[in-house]
Amino acid sequence: MRSSINGHSPDGISGSANPGRYLLGFRPLVLVALFLGLCSPPAFADPDARAIGGQQTSTSLSPLAAIADYQAFALANNPGLLSAGESWHAARSGADHAGAWPDPKLSFGYLAEGVETRVGAQRWKVGVNQSIPWFGKRALKRGMAEAQATAREHLWGQKRRQLSFDVYRACVEYAYLGEAIASKRRGLELLTSLEEVAVIRYRNGGLSWTNMLRLLNRKALLGEDVNRLTDRRHAQVLVINSLLGRDLSAAISTPLTIPDADPSFRIATHADLLADNPTMRAQAARVDGGRRGVALARKRARPDLNLGVEYIATDEASMPGVVDSGKDPIIFKLGISVPLWRGSYSAAEQEAAARLRSIEAAGLDLTNRLLSRLDRVILERREAARRVKLYEVELIPRTHEALVALAADFRTGGADFSELLQTEEYLLEFQLKELRARADLALGRAEIELLVGSRRGGDQQ
C-alpha cells in the first residue's frame, strides 16, 4: 500500500488500511474463481426422479377386484418394492455428481512479521487452487456410477415383475383352495344323501356294517379335508396381505377364481428371455461398469494436474523512488502429482480385472440358470395343459356318468356299495387334480411372463 515515508498517507489514513486498492487487487482472483466455477458441472436436479423411484400408494380394494387389481395394489403399496425404487433413486442421484470436478481450495496467509522486499513489505496473501484429474478419469467415474444406476433400475423392474408374479401366484393358490373346498363339500353332500339310503338298507339287512363304517369314515375324512383346506386358505390370506403391504388381518372379499388358459399365448424362445429379462439387462450394466473400472484403474498411474493463482499484498517500499514500489505480485502456479507407488497401481488393476472376470462369470451362470428355468417352466406348462385336457374331456365326464348311474341303482336297491364309494372317491380325486392342473397352467404362463415379459409368451395349447 502506498504511503509516505513514515508509513502514513497525507490525509492521515494508514496505508495498510486502504481497502479500495486491495479490492481492486482481488479482480484477478475473482476472474479465476469464476472460471473454475464455470468448469465445474452444474448440480443435476431431476424433478421427476423421486416420482420414478417412489410410488403412489393406494389404500383400498374394490369388493369386485380381480387379480390384476391386487397386482396393481401391491405395486403401489409393497414396502419392499418401495425400498428398491428408493435404492434406484439414490443410485441415480449418485451418478449425477460422480466424476464432478474436485472442489477448488481457497487459502489465506497472514505474515506476523512482514517480509521486506525491494518493492515493500509483504503483509498477507490469498490464493486459490484447482485440481484437474487426468483426462478421462472423471468420465470413467461417472460412467461407473451410471452403470450402477442402470443396474439398479433394471433390478427395480425385475422386482416389480417378481412382485406381480408373487401376487398372482398367491391369488391363484387362494382360488384353488376355494374351489377345492367347494369340491370337497359337494362330495360331502353326496355322501350325506347316500347315508340316508344306506341307513335304511342297513336296517333292512341290505347293507353290511362294514360298508356302513366305510361310508362314515369317508365322510369324516372329507370333513377333515375341508377343515385342513380352510386353514390353508386362511394362511394364504396372510400371504396375500403381506405382499399387498396392508394389515395382515384384512379380509379378502373377492370370490377369486382360477384364470382360464389363453389360447393366444405363443411360444417363447431363449432369444426372448435374453432380450427382455431385466436381470439380464442389469447384469449387462454391471459388466459395463466393471470394464470402466478396469480402465479407471489403469489411469490411476497417470498424474493429476493442479492449477492455482496467488495474490500477495505488499506495502510500499520504505525508501522513496523505488520502481514498482508497493506492487502486489500475482503468482500463477502449475503442479503435477508424481505417481511413484507403481506396486499399488498394479494391484488396483489386478483387483479391477478380477472383479470384472467375476461379474462376467456370474453373468454366464445367470444366463444358464434362467434359460434352463424357462425350458423347465415351458415343459411343466405343457404337461399341465395335457392334464387339464385329460381330466376335463375324458376322466371326469366318464367317472361322473358312472357315479350318477351307480347312485341311481343304489337308491333303488341295486349296485355294489363298495364300487359306489370307490367311484365317488375317484371322481373327487380327478376333480381336485383338474383344479391343480388348471392352477399350474395359469402359474406356468405367469412365470414365463416373469422371465420373458408379458408381450412374449410360452407355448401354444
321-332 pLDDT, tens digit each? 777 777 888 999
> 283: Cβ–Cβ under 8 A, 6 or more apart, which residues?
151, 359, 362, 363, 366
Phi-psi region of 414 (alpha: psi -120 to 50; beta: other; left: phi over 0): beta
Of the three residues 338, 354, 389, the one that is the final residue of a domain is 338
Write the pLDDT tens digit of every residue in 228-256: 999 999 999 999 999 999 988 888 877 78
In a domain, 461, yes or no: no
Grid coordinates of 356: 470384472
* Residues 357 and 426 placed together within one structural domain of the fold: yes
Position 263 scores a pLDDT of 63
Read off the pLDDT of each residue in 98-111 and give the average, rounded to a whole number: 88
> If 0-12 CB within 10 Å is exposed, 13-18 middle and 19+ buried, where does residue 210 land?
exposed
Q: What is the pTM of this model?
A: 0.77
- Quickly tell me which residue has 488393476 as its cell: 349
Of the three residues 338, 356, 382, the one that is the final residue of a domain is 338
* Residues 151 and 79 placed together within one structural domain of the fold: yes
pLDDT over threshold 50, residue 35: no
Of the three residues 319, 338, 357, the one that is the final residue of a domain is 338
Q: How confident is the model at residue 417 (pLDDT cuts 50, 70, 90)?
A: confident
* Residues 1 and 111 placed together within one structural domain of the fold: yes
Do residues 306 and 133 touch, judged by C-beta distance below 8 A?
A: no
Greatest mean pLDDT among 108-112, 183-187, 256-260: 183-187
In a domain, 460, yes or no: no
- Quickly tell me which residue has 512482514 as its cell: 114
Q: How confident is the model at residue 114 (pLDDT cuts 50, 70, 90)?
A: confident
Residue 423: CATH number of its domain: 1.20.1600.10
> In terms of residue numbers, what domain contains 426?
40-100+133-302+339-452
Write the pLDDT tens digit of every residue in 345-396: 889 899 999 999 999 999 999 999 999 999 999 999 999 999 999 999 999 9
Strands 330-336 and 305-314: antiparallel
* Residues 144 and 188 placed together within one structural domain of the fold: yes
* Residues 173 and 187 placed together within one structural domain of the fold: yes
Position 22 scores a pLDDT of 42
Query: What value, to the nearest 5°, has the Cα angle with vertex 22 and ends 16 and 27?
Result: 170
User: What percent of the chain clears pLDDT 70, i.e. is strictly above it?
Assistant: 84
The domain tally of the chain equals: 2
Position 208 scores a pLDDT of 83
In a domain, 402, yes or no: yes
* Residues 398 and 313 placed together within one structural domain of the fold: no
Write the pLDDT tens digit of every residue in 56-94: 445 578 777 889 999 999 999 999 999 999 988 898 888
Q: How confident is the model at residue 188 (pLDDT cuts 50, 70, 90)?
A: very high
Position 176 scores a pLDDT of 95
* Residues 385 and 348 placed together within one structural domain of the fold: yes
Q: Which residue has the higher pLDDT, 438 or 56?
A: 438
pLDDT over threshold 80, residue 317: no
Tell whether the torsion through CA atoms of 300, 287, 80 and 157 is positive or negative: positive
* Residues 172 and 78 placed together within one structural domain of the fold: yes
In a domain, 459, yes or no: no
- Computed over every residue of the chain, the mean pLDDT equals 82
> 289: Cβ–Cβ under 8 A, 6 or more apart, which residues?
143, 144, 147, 148, 151
* Residues 7 and 19 placed together within one structural domain of the fold: yes
Read off the pLDDT of each residue in 285-298 and give the average, rounded to a whole number: 93
Distance between CA 316 and CA 314 in Å, rounded?
7
Long-range Cβ pairs for the range 405-412 (8 Å, 24+): 407/190, 407/194, 410/194, 410/197, 411/197
In a domain, 274, yes or no: yes
The residues that bridge with 106 in the sheet, in sequence order, are 128
* Residues 116 and 199 placed together within one structural domain of the fold: no
In a domain, 457, yes or no: no
* Residues 30 and 155 placed together within one structural domain of the fold: no
Amino acid residing at 219: K
The alpha carbon of 328 is separated from its chain's Cα centroid by a whole number of angstroms, namely 60
Grid coordinates of 454: 408379458
Please give the C-alpha separations between residue 35 and each of 28, 31, 130, in angstroms, as whole numbers: 11, 6, 11
* Residues 349 and 329 placed together within one structural domain of the fold: no
User: What percent of the chain clears pLDDT 90, i.e. is strictly above it?
Assistant: 46
